[in-house]
Amino acid sequence: MNAPQEQMGSGSSSDMKKNGSRKKFFILLSACILLCAAVILIIFQQKQAVVSEPRTLRVSLYPIVPDMERYKKAVTMNWEAKHPDIKLELVDWYCYDEDLPDDLDVFVFDGIYLTEYLEKGYLLPIPEEAIQDIEDFIPFTTDGLRKDGNFCAVPQLICTSLLYTRKGDTELAGVSDTVMLYEKLGDRKNQSEVPDENEGLLIDMSGGTSKVIMYLDAQIDYSDTYTEYEDLPVKETFSEEALDLLRLLVKMGGAAQVKYKSESDELYERARWFAEGKGRAYIGYSETMAMMGDGVNEIDFRLFSYSDRGGVPLFSVDLAGVNAKISDDKKELAYELVDMITSEEAMAKVVMPEGIGTPQYLLPARIHIYDLLSEASPVNGQLKVIALDPKNKFLRMGSNAHEYISNTKKELPDLVFPKE
């Protein structure tokens, strides 16, 4: 009996150890399960918090328009109507002088920098299906923008220099290039900053970037051959004939006037002067007519060539793009914003006056909006003919556009303006 009793005692001890081990295992397993559940819950709550927080899109609009506040209002109101929980933060960014900030989600820029931005990888491809009515864009504005079913950027506005004369000035009625204009005006006699009534040419040559663009435009017009300027001309290869065309503009306008820059940074001051009767002719963008008030009814305007050898109608194209560094959760929203700010609906609100507001005379990159604009004003009917001219071309520059402009704008004044 003793032996069996000893065996029973030994078996009972073994079972107790096994039970204790199982208990510890289940305790540890339970603790692990609870810990994992807690971690999963925390992660889930954090994700829920991120999703529920209103997101912000940082956007920069093209800054050089007659009524920037109307432009901003049109964009923000349209966006808030669709996405009241997603804020638009409007950022002041100037594509001509500044690198693209990493945290800028959507931005509008001058197409002269398109090649450079593509080279630097700044632009996120935008699926074509994200953009409505792509067949409505003026054909030349999408040249080089579409590849493999994507847009690299989307056209919004276009602009070019126009020649303005007065309706009663029949001698200038048929003039449309620099050489013909100089034959009529000759050298300006009065060298004051502000010209007398009906005297000389009004033109702004005070800006560095604008002078570079004028030179490139003049070189294309003189050669009567379009180029995208992948290889930009340097000082040693500048066309003397193109420089001579710019020198004629200085002679007609007077050095003091063409170099004049308003201390108040008033946009398009020369357009206002022209509407007041000063100057005999004026060269400027279409949107400068916003400064002329009722004076627009007393003027004629037309496409302008720097050369009398034919020329190519060259347009700057403002483009809306998405930053390639945008976070994944914002991409679809960014595509939607680009579509919205380049749409006919948004452009109509920017260009058309509210109530008795002043028309902006901007040139949208879409076709059918011009029908609506033409109904509102005969001036817009004339702009429609100019904007839809099949000979129009997209002003492009090479992959070093910023560096090129920075260097060339320092060199041109000595080559174009008379020595003081």
Residue 178 and residue 97 in one domain: no
* Any domain includes 334: yes
In this prediction, residue 15 carries a pLDDT of 52
Classify residue 237: in a domain, yes or no.
yes
The answer as to whether 166 is a domain residue is: yes
304 lies in the same domain as 327: no
Beta-bridged to residue 146, according to DSSP, are: 151
Same domain, yes or no: 331 and 306:
no
Query: Does residue 322 sit in the same domain as residue 305?
Result: no
With contact defined as beta carbons under 8 Å apart, do 229 and 312 qualify?
no
Residue 30 in domain: no
Q: Is residue 240 part of a domain?
A: yes
Is 49 a domain residue? no
Inter-CA distances, 359 with 61, 158, 349, 363, 386, Å: 19, 16, 10, 11, 17
CATH of the domain at 91: 3.40.190.10
Instruction: Quote the pLDDT of residue 9.
Output: 45
| Same-domain status, 190 and 112 | no
Which range is least confidently modeled, 6-10, 167-171, 274-278, 317-321?
6-10
Main-chain dihedrals φ then ψ at residue 320, nearest 5 degrees: -105, 130
Domain end (from 329, 349, 369): 349
Annotation says 152 is catalytic: no
On whether both 141 and 198 belong to a single domain, the answer is: no
Helix-strand-coil percent breakdown of the chain, rounded to 5? 50, 15, 35
Catalytic residue among 116, 152, 269, 287: 287
Q: What is the pLDDT of residue 23?
A: 58
Pair (326, 409) in one structural domain: no
Give mean pLDDT, residues 393-415. 97
Distance, in Å, from the CA atom of 216 to the CA atom of 211, rounded to the nearest integer, reads 9
Domain boundary among 325, 349, 373: 349
For residue 224, tell me if it sits in a domain: yes
* 337 shares its domain with 303: no
Q: How confident is the model at residue 58 (pLDDT cuts 50, 70, 90)?
A: very high
Q: Which of 95, 116, 152, 159 is catalytic?
A: 159
Model pLDDT, residue 52: 43
Q: Domain check: are 175 and 144 in the same one?
A: no
Confidence band for 107, pLDDT divided at 50, 70 and 90 = very high
Confidence of residue 33 (pLDDT cuts 50, 70, 90): low
User: Do 250 and 278 reside in the same domain of the chain?
Assistant: yes
pLDDT digits (tens, 9 = 90+) for 369-390: 999 888 888 899 999 999 999 9
Domains in the chain: how many in total? 2
Annotated catalytic residue 159: yes
N- to C-terminal Cα distance for the chain? Answer: 131
Per-residue model confidence as pLDDT tens digits over 278-325 = 999 999 999 999 999 999 999 999 999 999 998 999 999 999 999 999
CA distance 320 to 107: 6
Is 168 inside a domain boundary? yes
Instruction: Tell me, yes or no, whether 180 and 121 share the same domain.
Output: no
Domain limits for position 210: 161-312+390-416
Task: State whether 75 and 105 are in the same domain.
Answer: yes
